[in-house]
Amino acid sequence: MMSDDVHRIFSTPSHTVSARKRLAMLKWGSYGAGAWMIVLLLIDRLVVLTPAEVIFVDTLWWSIGALIATMLSIDRFIHVPAAQGGIWVVFSSAACYAGLLVLFAANHSPYSRVALAGSFVVATVWMFIGIRIHLRSLVLRLGVPEKRVIDLLASARAALRSVQITHVRADLIETSDIEALMALDGVVIDRYSEKSEELKRVITWLKLRGTRIYSADHMHELLTGRLALSHTEDSFLDDSSGRIIYTLVKRLLDLTGAAVLLFVLAIPMAVIALILRIERGGATALFLQERVGLGGQPFKMMKFRTMRPALSAIGESTRSRVDGHDATRVTTVGHFLRRYRLDELPQLINVLTGTMSLIGPRPEWVESAAALFNRVPHYPYRHLVRPGITGWAQVTQGHVTDLSDAMIKLELDLFYVKHMSFALDLVIGIRTVRTVLTGQGSR
């Protein structure tokens, strides 16, 4: 029998969403849609409506679909680390109701603006209350029966708001306190370790009764948004052909988004280029730098020049940034461009040519990639996808200053490669807009 000091419950309002919480949110949204339908049915049965009121009620009927779409959208978002809260409710609801408005316009259907706006407010408030009740206030309870798992999750505590640890008796399975085990949202185990007969029996019993069993590495990913470098290769052994639809649609969105942004930003980019030429005495405003792209193939990445000429041939390299030697070389205009990430705008051309994506791991400088490959053999896994103008590491970590930061950045990049989805891309996109507007994390 295992000792009590390796039987714990981690209780934390973390970013991880258990099956219980997910079901609670889906029920909450369904209750709202059900009550909405009952009210409208009563109105249809009991009230004689004028033509204008018929349009009003019909709009409310269509709005039920937008509420359900909002519920399903939130269900996708809440599985992404750092994507819980009011902003995601508002975003999901606004996107779904905007889709309903487009549907009305495309079909030339009459609708009530008051009903549409009112239902949007009601749906948003209803789902926000659900988030507060089922995600913010409830505590995720995870049983951790192995010492190695406790050590691994302890490294993730920086990502948690609070952690409380209490003992769980090893013989719960044979006592009247069995309800304590059934109350767990999940049990976290080390799938690589040898299990005692007792622990195997407990895990099997819990699995048969619907308790979620998580691997320690997977739970670490969910809590931190980082892919632990141990056993990294196991995460990429499965065939990824199932992502072909995601990859094709994302490429289409990249082309559309880059083309639209270049059209909208053409004049501002021309003004920036002119100012840089004047500041640099007529020198070109753009420069090309060799970076590592999809499949580990090098490509030329475009940027606005933000630094004075270097004495070495490396130029504006990752080496100078990491060593901190470029602070005095950044020009006045360059500092402004860097603060609001405007120096990255020419990379929209890289997106159109297919060497980059709007969202993905930031492309590494060739020499940095080679150095990290020598230190971390599975480093190239980050090149399984196109590099991006912005990425999960950029909106989560910020500027990299040393090797330790580079390892964290790699874990964040690998998390994106493993878990990339439209929901995660949207989270990155929204957080990028916030970063650009605030200048947070600039160098």
Q: For residue 30, what pLDDT is reported?
A: 92
**Helices 113-131/51-77 angle, 10° precision:** 30
Asked if 281 and 370 sit in the same domain, the reply is yes
Query: How many residues are given for the chain?
Result: 443
Residue 185 to residue 163: CA distance in whole angstroms: 15
Name which residue leads in pLDDT, 12 or 376: 376
Candidates 293, 429, 288; CA nearest to 361 is 293
Asked if 133 and 260 sit in the same domain, the reply is no
Residue 394 to residue 409: CA distance in whole angstroms: 8
Asked if 186 and 309 sit in the same domain, the reply is no
Q: Tell me: pLDDT of 96 over 50.
A: yes
Residue 408 to residue 88: CA distance in whole angstroms: 26
Give every CB contact of residue 2 below 8 A, 6+ residues apart in sequence.
Answer: 145, 170, 196, 198, 199
User: Does residue 433 form part of some domain?
Assistant: yes
**Chain segment 384-407, per-residue pLDDT in tens:** 999 999 999 888 876 666 777 888
CB environment 36-64: b (16+ within 10 A), e (fewer):
beeebeeeeeeeeeeeeeebbbbbbebbb
Mean pLDDT of the chain: 78
Query: How distant is the alpha carbon of residue 22 from its chain centre?
Result: 17
Q: For residue 235, what pLDDT is reported?
A: 66
User: Does residue 235 form part of some domain?
Assistant: no
User: Does residue 54 form part of some domain?
Assistant: yes
Asked if 379 and 252 sit in the same domain, the reply is yes
Range with the poorest average pLDDT among 190-199, 307-316, 369-378:
307-316
pTM for the structure as a whole:
0.74
Name the strand (E) or helix (H) holding 302: strand 298-304
Name which residue leads in pLDDT, 153 or 295: 295
User: Does residue 20 form part of some domain?
Assistant: yes
Q: For residue 13, what pLDDT is reported?
A: 42
Specify whether the CB–CB gap between 360 and 416 falls below 8 A. Answer: yes
Helix, strand, or coil (residue 290): strand
How many folded domains does the chain comprise? 2
Q: Which of 194, 224, 254 is at the close of a domain?
A: 224
Range with the poorest average pLDDT among 40-49, 205-214, 408-417:
205-214
Asked if 125 and 72 sit in the same domain, the reply is yes
Helix, strand, or coil (residue 361): coil
User: Does residue 398 form part of some domain?
Assistant: yes
Asked if 203 and 343 sit in the same domain, the reply is no
Residue 344 to residue 303: CA distance in whole angstroms: 5
407: tokens are: 């390892």
Asked if 206 and 285 sit in the same domain, the reply is no
DSSP string spanning 129-176? HHHIIIIISS-EEEEE--HHHHHHHHTTGGG-S--EEEE--TTGGGST
Q: Which of 195, 224, 253 is at the close of a domain?
A: 224
Q: For residue 386, what pLDDT is reported?
A: 94
**Chain segment 14-69, per-residue pLDDT in tens:** 444 456 667 788 889 999 999 999 999 999 888 888 888 899 999 999 999 999 99
In the structure, what pLDDT confidence band is assigned to residue 227 with cuts at 50, 70 and 90?
confident
> Percent of the chain, pLDDT > 70?
74
Task: Name the most confidently modeled range: 99-108, 191-200, 202-211, 318-327.
Answer: 99-108
Full domain range(s) for residue 19: 1-224
Residue 48 to residue 46: CA distance in whole angstroms: 7
User: Does residue 303 form part of some domain?
Assistant: yes
Asked if 407 and 313 sit in the same domain, the reply is yes
Q: Tell me: pLDDT of 4 over 80.
A: no
Specify whether the CB–CB gap between 415 and 226 falls below 8 A. Answer: yes
Q: For residue 2, what pLDDT is reported?
A: 43
Asked if 187 and 291 sit in the same domain, the reply is no
Asked if 150 and 299 sit in the same domain, the reply is no
Asked if 219 and 287 sit in the same domain, the reply is no
User: Does residue 348 form part of some domain?
Assistant: yes
Asked if 197 and 336 sit in the same domain, the reply is no
User: Does residue 177 form part of some domain?
Assistant: yes
**Chain segment 250-303, per-residue pLDDT in tens:** 999 999 999 999 999 999 999 999 998 888 777 788 889 999 999 889 999 999
Residue 359 to residue 295: CA distance in whole angstroms: 16
Q: Which of 224, 252, 283 is at the close of a domain?
A: 224
Specify whether the CB–CB gap between 55 and 44 falls below 8 A. Answer: no
